[in-house]
């Protein structure tokens, strides 16, 4: 994994170098697959942690899908956030699957429900981060918690 | 990265953030001065905690620079917000590295700071990211 450039000089070039730290995805994939990728990898506590978090990501995706369907006017803001949860689920090794979610008829209440879900998600990801034994998984979960916490002000800007 | 390396990197990042908040925090819109001041206070406190963790881990504390080269001139409230968002987002990766290197309560603290920094960055106008970076 590339070490991030230390931000002593806040140059644009160094800021861009930060993008190279997107390695958690590849790192986790490397850590969670065995030497023989064609064979099923035995379930480990780490995979249990990652799977549970991936399933939670899928529930968030379901919540966003249902909210976008019920309140299409919010699609421009909500779709990128949903896509980020898809990236999280993918990084955690989750397999795509669609569920269902109920949505409040009022737009404000629907947004408030997503705010609550994102806050809980960030808390859960931090809890799983602390529990993780594989350091790369801890790093990935810290990034995901950060992303989810940052969704809250984005949702709030919609007027929730 | 070991804790001995990760915590000093956080300290260096927080030193830069304190500088950025000191410079740009005074140039945000009047309605945002309070938020900028709260961010500066948070970065100062986090810098001190990270320095303590760096020392505990046997790391060497970086010397803060007297001044930092800014990536762009900060002459307007909009540019000030942009700089604050940038430094906060850049800290996320440093805290994630520290979370990887630490354990227990120190790891929790690092993960919470990663979340706090990413949240502040979006509050300053950055677009949310799946894996926040500067």
Whether B65 has a pLDDT exceeding 60, the answer reads yes
Q: Is residue B129 part of a domain?
A: no
Is B10 inside any structural domain? yes
pLDDT above 80 (res A14): no
* Percentage of chain B exceeding pLDDT 70: 100
Q: What is the 3-state secondary structure (H, E, C) of A104-145?
A: CCCHHHHHHHHHHHHHHHHHHHHHHHHHCCCHHHHHHHHHHH
Number of structural domains in chain B: 1
User: Is residue B33 domain-resident?
Assistant: yes
Q: In 3-state terms, what secondary structure has residue B64?
A: coil
First to last CA, chain A: 39
Q: Which residues of B touch A87 (CB under 8 A)?
A: 130-131
pLDDT of residue A36: 39
Provide the pLDDT for residue A57: 97
| Cα separation, B42 vs A153, whole angstroms | 18
pLDDT mean over A9-27? 35
Note whether residue A116 is domain-resident: yes
Question: Using 50, 70 and 90 to split pLDDT, how confident is the model at A7?
Answer: very low
Of B69, B118, B122, the CB nearest to A9: B69
Q: What CATH number is attached to the domain comprising B55? A: 1.20.1260.10
Residue B5: predicted pLDDT: 97
**CB crowding B61-70: b at 16 or more within 10 Å, else e:** ebebeeebeb
**How far is Cα A98 from Cα A78, in angstroms, rounded to an integer?**
17
Flag whether B103 is in a domain.
Answer: yes
Whether residues B69 and A139 touch (CB distance < 8 A) is answered with: no
Instruction: Assess B68–A contact: CB distance below 8 Å, yes or no.
Output: yes
Report the gap between the CA of B109 and the closest CA in chain A (Å). 9
pLDDT over 70 at A149, yes or no: yes
On the question of pLDDT at A15 being above 90, the answer is no
ipTM exceeding cut-off 0.85 for this assembly? yes
Residue A129 falls within a domain, yes or no?
A: yes
Q: Is a pLDDT exceeding 60 seen at residue B63?
A: yes
**Looking at beta carbons, which residues of chain A come within 8 Å of B15?**
8
* Residue of B27, B132, B34 whose CA lies nearest to B70: B27
Classify residue B57: in a domain, yes or no: yes
Of the candidates A49, A50, A68, A60, which has an alpha carbon nearest to the alpha carbon of residue A110?
A68
Instruction: Look at residue A127 and tell me if it is in a domain.
Output: yes
Q: How many domains does chain A have?
A: 1
| Distance (Å) from the alpha carbon of A110 to chain B's nearest alpha carbon | 19
Provide the percentage of residues in chain A whose pLDDT is more than 90. 63
Optimal mutation site among B8, B10, B115, B126, interface A, most CBs of chain A within 10 A: B115
Predicted confidence (pLDDT) per residue in B116-125, tens digit: 999 999 999 9
Q: Closest Cα of chain B to A106: distance in Å?
A: 24
* Residue A63 belongs to domain spanning: 34-156
Residue B130 lies in a domain: no
Tens of pLDDT, residues A29-62 = 333 333 434 444 556 778 888 999 999 999 999 9
**Substitution target from B50, B61, B114 for chain A, most A beta carbons within 10 A:** B114
Nearest to B90 among A15, A83, A151 (CB): A15
Q: Is residue B132 part of a domain?
A: no
As given in the structure block, the two tokens for residue B56 are 């505990």
Residue B82 near chain A (CB below 8 Å)? no
Interface of B with A in 87-126 (CB under 8 A): 87, 89-97, 99-101, 104, 107-108, 110-112, 114-119, 121-123, 126
The parent domain of residue B78 ranges over 3-123
């Amino acid at each position: 994994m590339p070490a991030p450039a230390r931000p002593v000089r806040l140059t644009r070039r160094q800021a861009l170098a930060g993008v190279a730290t997107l390695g958690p995805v590849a790192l986790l994939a490397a850590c969670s697959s065995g030497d023989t990728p064609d064979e099923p990898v035995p379930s480990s506590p780490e995979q249990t942690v990652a799977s549970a978090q991936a399933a939670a990501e899928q529930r968030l995706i379901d919540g966003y899908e249902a909210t976008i369907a019920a309140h299409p006017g919010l699609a421009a803001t909500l779709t990128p956030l949903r896509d980020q949860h898809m990236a999280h689920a993918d990084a955690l090794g989750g397999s795509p699957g669609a569920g269902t979610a109920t949505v409040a008829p009022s737009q404000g209440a629907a947004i408030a429900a997503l705010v609550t879900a994102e806050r809980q998600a960030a808390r859960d990801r931090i809890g799983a981060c602390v529990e993780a034994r594989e350091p790369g998984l801890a790093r990935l979960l810290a990034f995901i918690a950060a992303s989810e916490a940052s969704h809250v002000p984005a949702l709030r800007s919609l007027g929730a | 990265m070991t804790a001995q390396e990760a915590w000093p990197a956080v300290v260096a990042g927080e030193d830069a953030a304190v500088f950025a908040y000191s410079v740009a925090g005074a140039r945000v819109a009047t309605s945002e001065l309070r938020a900028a001041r709260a961010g500066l206070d948070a970065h100062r406190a986090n810098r001190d905690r990270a320095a303590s963790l760096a020392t505990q881990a046997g790391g060497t504390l970086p010397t803060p620079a007297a001044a930092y080269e800014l990536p762009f001139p900060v002459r307007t409230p909009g540019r000030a917000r942009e700089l604050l968002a940038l430094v906060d987002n850049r800290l996320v990766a440093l805290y994630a590295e520290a979370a990887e290197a630490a354990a227990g309560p120190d790891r929790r603290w690092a993960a919470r700071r990663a979340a706090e920094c990413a949240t502040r960055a979006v509050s300053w106008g950055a677009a949310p990211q799946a894996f926040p970076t500067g």
